[in-house]
Amino acid sequence: MTTSATATRVGWVRRVLSAVATCVLLVALGLAVALAVVPRALGGAALTVLTGSMVPTYQPGDVVVVRGVKDAASEVQVGDVVTFQPVSDDPALVTHRVVGKSFTSDGTTFVTRGDANTADDDPLVPEQIKGVAVYHVPFVGHVSLWLGGHRGTLVVAVAGALITYSVLMLLRPERARAPIPGPGPIGRPGDDLSGVARGDRADAAPVPTPGGAP
């Protein structure tokens, strides 16, 4: 294999690896933003689905991002998927769909049920509802569980990796290019052109006149 072919192959491999690395970093950054930055901006959280009660809407291992709710009585409607505390002030959370909303003299109550369930949950008061589902990210729940409370660290690490990668790409030495030769000097065969710079025009020799000295 010639040196030129080897250099071409190495350059192609480097370009492929660079593209793959860029894609991986961008995907990681996108996930970090979707699972850490956006939930915080919405005043909510990213919650991992642990059971199949919401199949087929959510599968175990999906991550559901919910926005915070201040006034569930006015913000939550039938059909919304909500995250709530089955027992008030208990940290345990459940994410099910609202299938009923009623107004009584005692206030507003909600009825929820998992999409895969056949029985309704116990009625809820607005204070028990903590968030409304906005979107979900499939298949990353196990990674989210592994990261635990370090999602913010992941965002910083990925951002730092992207910045470092960008700087390295900017500082990478440019591939050397062969100079383009300029036009050669002009003269007659046998002339001494050693003192003529390459690309400069030499003084043309005088043209002899008929019957006269050159």
Catalytic residues: 53, 96, 121
The residue type of 201 is: R
Closest CA to 33 of 158, 146, 142: 158
The set of residues, in sequence order, having a beta carbon less than 8 Å from that of 99 and lying 6+ positions away, is 78, 111, 112, 113, 120
The Cβ of residue 131 has, within 10 Å, a number of other Cβ atoms equal to 25
Contact criterion met (CB below 8 Å) for 94 and 84: yes
Secondary structure E strands in 55-195: 63-68, 81-84, 94-104, 107-113, 129-137
